[in-house]
Structure 1
Amino acid sequence: MAERILDVKNLKIDFHTYAGEVKAIRDVSFHLDKGETLAIVGESGSGKSVTTKSLMGLLANNAEVTGGSIMFHDQDILKKSEKEMQNIRGKDIAMIFQDPMTSLDPTMRIGQQIAEPLIKHKHVDKKKAWAQALELMKLVGITDAEERIKNYPHQFSGGQRQRIVIAIALVCYPEILIADEPTTALDVTIQAQILELMKELQEKIETSIIFITHDLGVVAGMADRVAVMYAGQIVEYGTVDEIFFNPQHPYTWGLLNSMPTLSSTKLEAIPGTPPDLLDPPKGDPFVARNPYAMKIDAEQRPPFFKVSETHYAATWLLHPDAPKVTPPDEIIRRRQTFKDIMAHRAI
């Protein structure tokens, strides 16, 4: 059985604003095992980044954790002081932020920025820290690293800066690496290189990855498990095969239907917009955009229904008394593919 290193239970986070209390994260639970990759996917504003920033103790000043726990090796991160969190950030849990342009200090040489976590957390002297920074620059694929270690961020391309940000995050060999949309600003060629690099480095240092993205296509070959977030809640989670080929929640159907495939002839956008979390709906948060919504969706939040030992979805469509609905053609095709895959594996 895999070693569990992170366990988030019933996490609730509010933001105090002039307009009122924004219920940004509403009862989120998930776990992370050693060496695995968990992808958290959903539209912008679904709560992905807020959830993972809480793991680092990096929430904004107007944020308040109103419930839940974040257990990292049986210690609740939410109960730790800022000084204690400074000893965890970068050493045990590290983060690759969305934009390498703003993640790097323009006034510091690259070598200094990579070496800094080693000096702080591992108490390595400056000379050895720079030597390790040089090795990591080579590991992440920076050419002519010996000459470029003294360069500044503006002297690197966008893809190279992202590699440097990854190097900074990995320099202390953290147990958990949080990648917050690390390929958003990159073209598809560089994006593929960065994803492949992360997979290679994960195998070498045995780190666990939480990969945040709004693009389901990115996680297809990256994740072991997927959690689908909507309006501050996880609405479906399962293995990558289960989410891609046997999705159960209408929101997941919508995300997959909007993703181009070799067989798709038309891309379908999800109509409408996410709900206002100043006054979130009391039922299923997806009710206003759900073409399969029933009366109960507007009145009562659905529990998680068990699809398999590893697959759960919060939708009333899985209730035994719910009417049978026909999902989009693309989802039907995916389900048949899933059945074929399972049948082949059983042989």
Structure 2
Amino acid sequence: MSKETLLNVKNLHVDFHTYAGEVKAIRDVNFDLKKGETLAIVGESGSGKSVTTKTLIGLNAKNAEISGEILYQGRDLTQLTESEWTKVRGNDIAMIFQDPMTSLDPTMRIGMQIAEPILIHEKISKKEALDRALQLMKDVGIPNAEEHINDYPHQWSGGMRQRAVIAIALAANPQVLIADEPTTALDVTIQAQILQLMKKIQKERESSIIFITHDLGVVAGMADRVAVMYAGKIVEYGTVDEVFYYPQHPYTWGLLNSMPTTDTESGSLQSIPGTPPDLLHPPKGDAFAARNAFALDIDHEEQPPFFKVSDTHYAATWLLDERAPKVDVPEKIKARWDRWEKMKGAN
């Protein structure tokens, strides 16, 4: 039985009008999100991950021009007015921001910051909202919550502030949580605690999560499906196992090759050469062609369509075209394929 689709993004384009010209930040992005699943969107800085999620929650700058559809339970969010967004934001879709110190109000007590979305979306008293805030503080693992409900953000550690940000996002019980690199500013031990907390909350509340990150190690433990973004486009998507163990796009190969594992030898990590293209003037063909050691002539002339790898796995690379020459896949990726085949055989 297939899960209910909560969110469906169709042909999304986001352009920013600047003094230098029109920045084509998001270029024809399509994906969906099902109830209770975690979709990870991964890619380098500047690939369009955060612009995509800000568009999903109506927080883009005023110079943004949006086209396409964002259907939440059949309602197109791109058509909402700001007053309509106020009812959706926090109540249906909430966001956990990257840096808790800048997303928390330094002049407001933390308990009140958690209670604020409850007061906005529900007709209850301030005392009732604060009681709910106290319970949320306990739910996200803040010790001795009664003693700390009146603290200010500067009195808390980074990990505790991130828990407060998660509590704020959960306050109005949204169905969709967008987590924009929520562990970037934290050390590894605290990162693990926050990720474990998010998985626990998701299971308890049956919420859906869009997880934005450049850290593929985080994705392996969090995601059900993965969308790989480059230069404002999704270039590969599939289940987490398919993208990790059977990747098809050279950009995904590059991301995986630059990720350390327990088998990585000192000095063996490989970076992707070059830099992402200027989206004021996007390339004519495949945006990754200039950095792609496996690029074909057509990559410089025409954008590749999505080629079907399986019912759940697609990649936009001309290497999957039946006319393309056979490519010698990097040895590390071959090793992943071998591991994937063994895993499938064991099942």
TM-score (norm 2): 0.98
**In 1, Cα distance between equivalents of 2:39 and 2:82:** 26
SS of residue matched to 2:222: coil
Q: What is aligned with 2:27?
A: 26
User: What is the deviation of 1:282?
Assistant: 1.4
- 1:335 counterpart (331, 334, 337): 337
Per-residue Cα deviation, 1:211-240 (whole angstroms, up to 9, x for no partner):
000111111010000000000000000000
Hey, what's the Cα distance between the residues in 1 that align with 2:32 and 2:271? 30
The residue matched to 1:204 in structure 2 has which SS?
helix
1:51 is the counterpart of 2:64: no
1:270 Cα deviation after fit:
0.3
Alpha-carbon distance, 1:333 to partner:
0.4
Residue matched to 1:125 = 125
* Separation (CA, whole Å) in 1 of partners of 2:124 and 2:330: 57
Answer yes or no: is the 8 Å Cα contact 1:14–1:25 preserved in 2: yes
Q: Is the 8 A contact 1:264 1:330 kept in 2?
A: no
Give yes or no for the alignment of 1:37 onto 2:50.
no
User: In the TM superposition, what is the alpha-carbon distance from 1:264 to its structure 2 partner?
Assistant: 2.1
Distance in 2, Cα, partners of 1:328 & 1:185: 32
In structure 2, distance between residues paired with 1:62 and 1:128: 39
Alignment correspondent of 1:300: 302
The whole-number CA distance in structure 1 between the counterparts of 2:344 and 2:283 is 38
Alignment deviations for residues 286-321 of structure 1 (CA, whole Å, 9 cap, x no partner): 000000000000000000000000000000000001
Aligned to 2:171: 171
User: How far apart, in 2, do the equivalents of 1:213 and 1:122 lie?
Assistant: 32
CA offsets per residue over residues 98-155 of structure 1, 9 Å max, x none?
A: 1101000011001100001111102221111111111110111111100100111011
Which SS does the other structure have where 1:221 is aligned?
helix
Match of 2:87, SS state, is: helix
- After superposition, give the CA deviation of every residue in 1:67-112 in whole Å (9 maximum; x if it has no partner): 2100001010001111000000011000011110100001100110
**Which letter does structure 1 place at the counterpart of 2:241?**
D
How many Å apart are 1:171 and its aligned residue? 1.2
SS in 2 for 1:108: coil
Say if 2:147 is the partner of 1:147: yes
8 Å contact 1:13–1:23 — kept in the other structure?
A: yes
2-structure distance, mates of 1:329, 1:257: 10
User: Which secondary structure does the structure 1 equivalent of 2:71 belong to?
Assistant: strand
Give me the whole-angstrom Cα distance separating, in 2, the residues matched to 1:248 and 1:200.
Answer: 32
The separation in 2 between residues aligned to 1:196 and 1:124, in whole angstroms, is 31
1:171-250 mapped onto 2 (5 Å cutoff): 171-250=171-250
SS of 1:12 mapped into structure 2: strand
Matched to 1:141, the amino acid is G
- Identity in percent: 68
Q: Distance in 2 between matches of 1:112 and 1:293?
A: 54
Amino acid at match of 1:281: P
2:26 and 2:99 map into 1 onto residues whose CA distance is: 23
Query: Map of 1:251-262 to 2, 5 A cutoff?
Result: 251-262=251-262
Distance 2:156 2:215 in 1: 26
Preserved contact between residue 69 and residue 78 of structure 1 (Cα < 8 Å): yes
Number of aligned positions between the proteins: 344
Give the corresponding residue for 1:107. 107
Q: Cα deviation per residue 1:41-86 (whole Å; 9 max; x = unaligned)? A: 0000000000011111110011111x21000010100011110000
Quote how far apart the aligned CAs of 1:327 are.
1.5
Q: Moved runs in structure 1, 4+ residues, more than 2 A?
A: none
Q: CA deviation at 1:23?
A: 0.5
TM-score, scaled relative to structure 1: 0.98
- Gaps (5+ residues) in structure 1? none
Which SS does the other structure have where 1:220 is aligned? helix
Does the 8 Å contact 1:302/1:314 carry over to 2? yes
Aligned to 1:282: 284
3-state SS, counterpart of residue 71 of structure 1: strand
Residue 11 of structure 2 corresponds to 10
Name 1:323's counterpart in structure 2. 325
Question: 1: distance between equivalents of 2:19 and 2:329?
Answer: 41
Q: Is the 8 A contact 1:235 1:249 kept in 2?
A: yes
Judge which range, 121-130 or 301-310, deviates more.
121-130
Shift of residue 255, structure 1, vs aligned partner: 0.2
For the residues of structure 2 that align with 1:45 and 1:20, how far apart are their CA atoms?
17
The CA RMSD measured in Å over matched residues stands at: 0.6
Q: In the aligned structure 2, how far is the partner of 1:168 from the partner of 1:289? A: 41
